[in-house]
Structures are given as C-alpha cells and as structure tokens.
Copies of this chain bind each other. A is one copy, B any other.
C-alpha cells in the first residue's frame, strides 16, 4: 500500500426533508455574522423552481437571516463564461459563501466561482494545473446522484471558447456541507438515473484498476460500491419512487468519489480523460459518454494486463473463475458490465452521440494538445496517442 493522506471533512445531512436545514447550515458553516457577506445561490435551469425546491431553499435562507444573490443557468458540462459571470457577481455583491443547488454541473460551477472570486488571476489557471489554495466556502444541495462533487475536492469545467473540458482540484473546494435528500432524485427520468449510475461506477473503476498490489481494503470498498450500484440501479429505473434504491445510490455516489475508494495506490482516469471529448464536441451526457468509453478502454487494456480484470469479473460480477484460462473470466466480466449498461439504457457506441469515426484523430489530438499526456494517459496500462485512437475506434463498434 502506498503512503497517503486522507481527509474528507464534509458534513453530510442525509435523508427526507434534509433541504429544510439549508439556512441553518449556511449560518453554521458560513461566516454567519451580521453585516457579513452574502450567499451566492447558484443553480441550473428551471427544474428546481418547478419542483418547489427553490421555494424551500429561499424560505429556509430567509428564516435564518441569510442574505443572498442568485445566479441560475448552470448547464450540463458547465461552462467558463458562466463562471466568469459568477465571479464578477461575487465581487460586486460581497459574497462570502457559495451555495450550489443541483447536480455536478451546478456544484462544479459553484466551486470554480468560489475559487475564482478570491483569486487575482484568471480562474482558468486552476484548470491548467494550478492547485486551488483559497476559495470561498461551498455548500451543496444535491439533486442528482452522479458526479460525486458533493464530497470531492474537484471541479470540471468546459472552456466555451476552446471546447477544452478540464478539471481542477483543491481541498478548499470540498463542500463544507452537503445536503443529500434521495427524494429529490425521484423525479429524474431513467436516462439521467442511468447516466448518473454509469458515472458513479466509473469513478470507482478508475481507482480500482491499479498496479499497486495488495490494497485489499480499498479493493473491497470499491467492490462494495459497484455491487450496490448493480443491485440498486435497475430498481431505481424500474420504480423511480423507490426511496431505498435512490438512497443507496445517492450515498454510494458520494463514497465513490471522496477518494475512500482510491487511497493507498495509483489511479488511472483515462476513461474520464477520453470521455470528456465527446461531451465537449457533441454535448454527450458525461455518464453516457463514460458508458461507451470505459468498456472500450477495458477491452483494450485487459489484453495487455488482464490480472485485475479477473478479480473484477469474479468479485464484482460473480463470474465463475476459469482457472485454466483466466483471460476468459476477465472477458466475461467486461461483457457483463456492458450488458448491465445496455440493460439500464446506456448507449454502446459513440455513433449514438452523432460522432463519426473520422473525428477520432480530432479527439485524440485535442487530448494530446493540452500537455497532460503523461498524466492522463493511463496508470493501469500506459497508453500513447495511437492506443487512445484504438480505444476510440473500439468505442464505435
């Protein structure tokens, strides 16, 4: 096991009606003092107004004397232009706390605003590799189980000028509190539930496939999250009002990405790197893009390094171990994963996003251009740009 530091200090308020606590939590975790700054209430489209969540939040903030300004419009694959707008608003309105209400998009956008508001330079620096050292505190009300941003120190933003979709990190952008009410996810349509599930599962998979040996506890926790998702996702899709299924998925989504599943070893993250391109170019839903890219990546790298795939097949997918030909077991695990993704309604080819095979060099060049070649090109199996093109090809089958 490699040496590591782990600190996941976010306060989670989980369960029915938890969003009513938001005003009290902003007061507790924000500066809260009279005459102190305002809170920026940041959200996406109109869904939180339709559902009544907006009214609940506003009422709770007012009851607790929290002054706030608003910025809506965070969209899936959140964009830099809105972040700039948010930063300007924070400065103008003396904002000292950022509250995100929504999914990963609103949260990631809020984190970027929180970091940019107290930074003298261009916030995009953080998405070019600069670590975030200082930010306004961020609070969250989560409305979709997927990104894990509610418990993570990361944010992913798309630069709407260059179409680069990039991540940044910093312990200071980990939410100080996150409110997780599974009821709020019961209105999600099946395709969003499924894309969220794919995202959660790939967050685990990126950490699970590692060449660091004998990290049994981390492996087992990864498998625990994956098995939970395998059981609960079809239940939530079949009956969107299944509270228990929604609750297990929601908490699994947090555990998948606060790095408990990653401690003590090298991680990979190639699938995320590669899935960002179809999102940036065609607006593919993040989870749906992962559902196509990740199995393609698996097929490619399992030929080179099958070991962990055998364990994945046996422990996660209950495949029978083929002791004579373990590579057959490995393949079966990947097939069951693909079958599962299909069953929950995920696409299986990049074609389904309107991509064409001739776009592949464009994707690959785009990844290569941003100078993250070493970092993003794999840990479990080291990949060069040709390998990346091969994987994209497999994602067109």
Contacts and interface: CB of A to CB of B under 8 A. Distances in A.
A251 B225 contact: no
A9 B12 contact: no
A13 B5 CA distance: 5
B5 A251 contact: no
Contact of A251 (B17, B18, B228, B264): B264
A6 B14 contact: yes
Contact of A16 (B3, B12, B231): B3
Interface stretch (A73-81, A129-137, A209-217, A330-338): A209-217
Contacts of A243: 1
A24 interface: no
B216 A225 contact: no
A98 to B, nearest CB: 20
Contacts of A3: 14-18
A4 B14 contact: yes
A220 B227 contact: yes
Nearest to A171: B11
A225 B220 contact: yes
Given A216-B248, A224-B217, A224-B224, A5 B1 contact: no
A247 interface: yes
Contacts of A215: 244, 247-248
A263 B244 contact: no
B15 A4 contact: yes
18 contacts: A1-B248, A6-B14, A8-B8, A9-B9, A214-B244, A215-B244, A216-B231, A217-B225, A217-B228, A217-B252, A218-B251, A220-B227, A220-B228, A223-B224, A224-B224, A247-B264, A251-B264, A260-B260
